[in-house]
Amino acid sequence: MSNINNPDFVRGALYDFGTKTIKTDSGIEYCVEYITEDKKQTRLLWFKESGEYIRLNAKVENDDTTAQAVA
């Protein structure tokens, strides 16, 4: 099965300089990929809040059908 069809897939690593997972006090956890050998530049791979992974390329679905613009 391809990673593209996996619902937990966000973005694949492009570089081979390592990754780092960072946890914040506010409950957000994210993973960055080092894109340079000196590890001074990074690229966001994924993040989650309250145990839920969020796809970076996911489309936002708006289920609120009651809000309508009134002219």
| 11-58 pLDDT per residue, tens | 777 888 999 988 889 888 888 899 999 999 998 887 887 666 656 565
Domain boundaries, the chain: 3-51
* Amino acid symbol at 46: W
pLDDT at 27: 86
Predicted model pTM = 0.53
CA–CA distance, 48 with 12 (Å, rounded to integer): 16
Please check whether residue 45 is in contact with residue 54, taking contact to mean a CB–CB distance below 8 angstroms. Answer: no
CA–CA distance, 68 with 71 (Å, rounded to integer): 10
CA–CA distance, 5 with 58 (Å, rounded to integer): 13
